[in-house]
Structure 1
Amino acid sequence: MGTNRRYDEQDIEHYDRPRRRGTRPRTKERPSYDDAATGTVVTIDRGRMTLLVDGARVTAMKARPLGRKAVVVGDRVKVVGDVSGAEGSLARIVEVEPRSTVLRRTADDDDPVERVVVANATQLAIVTALADPEPRTGLIDRALVAAYDAKLAPLLCLTKADLADPETLLSTYRSLGVPWVVTQRGGRLDELRDALAGQTSVLLGHSGVGKSTLVNALVPDAGREVGQVNEVTGRGRHTSTSALMLPLPGEGNRPDGWIIDTPGIRSFGLAHVQPEDLIEAFGDLDELTEDCPRGCTHAADEPECGLDVALANGEVDPERVTSFRRLLDARSVPPYLL
């Protein structure tokens, strides 16, 4: 009898349930992953994940026992096998560690399936051009809703300030207290670097707004492709085709934060976000709704909403309530119209 077996007793697949239905697991003794290496997923391409493991770039696949469990950029994972990063080597992801934050979206607002975009980020940088293409507040509003729902700190990053005055757009969001940075083509990025330092920031925005240009300037060896805006449609073409996590250069070999460049998007469904989750991001407004009728969504047409009572009594800034309700309304605008 030959001794060449597909798996040895230390291999995770050895402990997996056979493919034929109705059979029992081969053993109840599951392997321990205490000695497994820990890595961070930095990009995914056709089912293969690139991880950073102790500074080495390691190619890995999901182990079969993970089943349909999604692995996304930003995930911290346990990995076994060849983690040397040598050419042609392949490791396996055997566990996904608990996520501290999850940025989600749905394909549409009536889609029950949530898609995890990025895990373990701390900040959502919404990149918007002030011109070429013209800013579209629909996506900004939706991105803010997603950030507040995911407990990510929002940041407005306005590009191409050499083409238009940022004040017009900033006045729309100032009452929400959203921080912002303004950049222009060929200008210095010190303010943006300061806002990104020490954070794991997701860069999100329409195609053509300058995300890849910013990434290439922040991380000189990133090599992200830069596209042009279509003169007929006024929209950019997709240049980044997959999310990519990159270290921001810092002192020595230590990164001064991380950025995650995402592909340009045309829609951002919010079927998973509930009004009670959104208002929790605004502590002052949340306190004013404690006596709202049960099921109140805090929209402008809700009877006896605590926000309206506070407005009548002069207890809250009207612009802040209007801006918050605009975010609520953004949940009902078809995402493909953004």
Structure 2
Amino acid sequence: MARSARRYSDEDVEHYDRPRRRTRPRTKERPAYDDAVAGVVVTVDRGRFTLLVETSDGPVTVMAMKARPLGRKGVVVGDRVRVVGDVSGAEGSLARIVEVEPRTTVLRRTADDDDPVERVVVANATQLVVVTALADPEPRTGLIDRALVAAYDAGMAPLLCLTKADLADPQTLLATYRSLGVPWVVTQKGGDLSELRERLAGETSVLLGHSGVGKSTLVNALVPDAGREVGVVNAVTGRGRHTSTSALLLPLPGGGWIVDTPGIRSFGLAHVEPGDLIKAFPDLEEMTVDCPRGCTHGVEEPECGLDLAIERGELDADRVASFRRLLEARSVPAYLL
């Protein structure tokens, strides 16, 4: 028989095609999930999500997984979600996240400045609290500058929290940021935290800083039952040991939320366009209307409107210098912070 001859005749059963895979008619209709309840993501651990779900009896801690229809859509700490299934919070129970509400803000970073992959740190936060020790370990302005850039890019209000004021004078560091108008609070071990509590009230605040600067100590003082582990600073390297291994959202007794994040040693800004940073400073942006096309408003830019405004006495030179330092923060390798 020729190789091209048909193996079966039209009368053979085998002639008819077998049903193909995925022949079930597709539909755009999706479940309405009318019985879904609202929750907020508190922490994430290996594909499992801890939520706080509001019930008639008050907030309940619920374990959940992401529903398959969400696909690769990321779910992070701070996300407001809708949940179905067992939301009793009983041991061994597991609910399903079926919807992620639109985010109002997104705090992002990259592993390094040439890394194209953005990592969402926290969603829906309103305030970024940059926690910096005045000594032990010594303050590193590189991380502060980068954190401020990330806050402005995300549309979050920045706040400097200077810890260990009993070991060093805060005025030297504050002088660097005062011209930018960044608000600040100063704390020390066992000191009064009333001013910090006022700044945090009603906000969703992300605590960000190097290991060993006192983030977990602050969290334990602000939320007495938080139980965050407190580390020490290595006497040789001057660096702190990571005590927080994942971001954790906690409700504040006086209203509002705080997010304790793991200590970081790099904060890439590959996702931030330098030209967009000035939008966070309306008074500076106003002076750049007549800048040459392509002006980045940096130190070496010819005929930059910021320099002309300084010459006319319309802008403070220190404020412009501080803004340009934030621009230059992207040129410092993230791993050197």
TM-score, normalization by structure 1: 0.91
Write the deviation string for residues 93-130 of structure 1: whole angstroms up to 9, x where unpaired: 11110000000101111111111100000000000000
Aligned residue for 1:163? 167
- From 198, 205, 218, the equivalent of 1:201 is 205
Distance (Å, rounded) in 2 between the aligned partners of 1:21 and 1:247: 49
Distance (Å, rounded) in 1 between the aligned partners of 2:289 and 2:24: 52
Helix, strand or coil: the match of 2:43?
Answer: strand
Distance (Å, rounded) in 2 between the aligned partners of 1:25 and 1:73: 37
Spell out the pairing of 1:195-234 with structure 2 (5 A cutoff): 195-234=199-238
In structure 2, the CA distance between the partners of 1:23 and 1:316, relative to structure 1 (3 Å rule), is: farther
Distance (Å, rounded) in 2 between the aligned partners of 1:89 and 1:137: 46
Query: Is the counterpart of residue 326 in structure 1 residue 325 in structure 2?
Result: yes
Aligned residue for 1:49? 49
Over the matched positions of the two proteins, sequence identity in percent amounts to 83
Distance (Å, rounded) in 1 between the aligned partners of 2:32 and 2:165: 54
Helix, strand or coil: the match of 1:331?
Answer: helix
Write the deviation string for residues 188-242 of structure 1: whole angstroms up to 9, x where unpaired: 1111101101100000000000000000000000000000000000000100000
Distance (Å, rounded) in 1 between the aligned partners of 2:226 and 2:335: 30
Q: Residue type of the partner of 2:145?
A: D
Spell out the pairing of 1:61-140 with structure 2 (5 A cutoff): 61-140=65-144
CA positional deviation for 1:266:
0.3
Aligned residue for 2:182? 178
Aligned residue for 2:17? none
Q: Residue type of the partner of 1:311?
A: I
Aligned residue for 1:306? 305
Distance (Å, rounded) in 1 between the aligned partners of 2:257 and 2:81: 17
Q: Residue type of the partner of 2:87?
A: V
CA positional deviation for 1:22:
6.4
Aligned residue for 1:242? 246
TM-score, normalization by structure 2: 0.91
In structure 2, the CA distance between the partners of 1:26 and 1:264, relative to structure 1 (3 Å rule), is: same
Aligned residue for 1:290? 289
Aligned residue for 1:145? 149
Distance (Å, rounded) in 2 between the aligned partners of 1:128 and 1:33: 45
CA positional deviation for 1:68:
1.1
Query: Is the counterpart of residue 277 in structure 1 residue 276 in structure 2?
Result: yes
Aligned residue for 2:264? 265
Q: Residue type of the partner of 2:293?
A: R
CA RMSD of aligned residues (A): 1.3
Helix, strand or coil: the match of 1:161?
Answer: coil
Write the deviation string for residues 157-176 of structure 1: whole angstroms up to 9, x where unpaired: 00000000000000000000
Q: Residue type of the partner of 1:307?
A: L
Query: Is the counterpart of residue 40 in structure 1 residue 40 in structure 2?
Result: yes
Write the deviation string for residues 295-332 of structure 1: whole angstroms up to 9, x where unpaired: 21110111121111112222100000000000000011
Moved over 4 A (4+): 20-26
Helix, strand or coil: the match of 1:329?
Answer: helix
Distance (Å, rounded) in 1 between the aligned partners of 2:25 and 2:182: 52
Write the deviation string for residues 255-284 of structure 1: whole angstroms up to 9, x where unpaired: x11000000000000011112221010010
In structure 2, the CA distance between the partners of 1:69 and 1:317, relative to structure 1 (3 Å rule), is: same
Distance (Å, rounded) in 2 between the aligned partners of 1:193 and 1:322: 31
Q: Residue type of the partner of 1:51?
A: L
Distance (Å, rounded) in 2 between the aligned partners of 1:308 and 1:323: 13
